[in-house]
Amino acid sequence: MTADDLHLLNTRHSVPSRQLGEPAPDAASLARLLEAAVRVPDHGKLVPFRILTLRGDAKLAFGAQLTAMALAKHPDMPESKREKERHRYTFAPLVLVVVAHIHRDSTVPEFEQNLSAGCVAYNMLLGAQALGFGAQWLTGWAAYDRDVAALLGLADNEHVVGFVHMGTATMDTPDRDRPSVDGIVSEWTP
């Protein structure tokens, strides 16, 4: 093993969605990325996840509907937040919606199923970077709202894990400070 073997993990960072533009991965690259992204721990082989793609006019329509929902739910929203809602889906050319598909009749705890779906979202970030693209995993109010879930056509046993915005970075993104391993790792002793 060499230092280069962990290069992707050691350089992984999110690119803010506002700094993502064209192009997004083409069909072949996206297929390769998604095939890799679903290679996650999956206790019980349940495949407790699925993925929706948002792009083009559909992505913009989704963003407009979310804006209308947000304003209806919070009519006193400050103008700065209204502006953020209006533009949230106008930057990145591709948004992948990672959905947890929970098998409630399984002996595998729901928490583990959610972790599996979360790993798909994280693998998308790694895969995008490996292919030379930028990505950001976002949640926000829309990930937890059942009206948004209905808009996306989600079943009662499904919920959004995250919206992975993807495209080409339009500027360099400085890395942020990372935690010191010394401060978070300790050895357990009996």
pLDDT, position 155: 98
CATH architecture of 20-171: 3-Layer(aba) Sandwich (3.40)
Which distant-in-sequence residues (6+ apart) come within 8 Å of 63 by Cβ?
86, 87, 88, 89, 90
Residue 139 among known ligand-binding residues: yes
Q: Is 88 annotated as a binding residue?
A: no
Per-domain residue ranges of the chain: 20-171
Query: Which pLDDT tens digit goes with each residue over 124-138?
Result: 999 999 999 999 999
Q: Pseudo-torsion of CA 82, 85, 86, 91, nearest 10°?
A: 140
Is 14 part of any known ligand binding site? yes
Is 87 among the annotated ligand-binding positions? no
In the predicted model, what is the mean pLDDT of residues 86-90? 96
User: Annotation-wise, does 13 bind a ligand?
Assistant: yes
Q: Where are the alpha helices (DSSP H) in 52-131?
A: 56-73, 79-87, 110-130
Average pLDDT over residues 158-182: 94
**Binding residue per annotation — 165?**
no
pLDDT of residue 139: 97
Does this model's pTM top 0.75? My answer is yes
Which has the closest alpha carbon to 11: 175, 182, 136, 124? 175
188 marked among binding-site residues: no
Mean residue pLDDT of the chain comes to 96
Instruction: Look at 1-15, 139-153, 158-172 and tell me which has the smallest mean pLDDT.
Output: 1-15
pLDDT at 173: 87
Residue 162 has pLDDT above 90, yes or no: yes
Per-residue pLDDT of 34-71, as tens digits, reads 999 999 999 999 999 999 999 999 999 999 999 999 99
Bridging pattern class, strands 94-101 and 20-21: unpaired
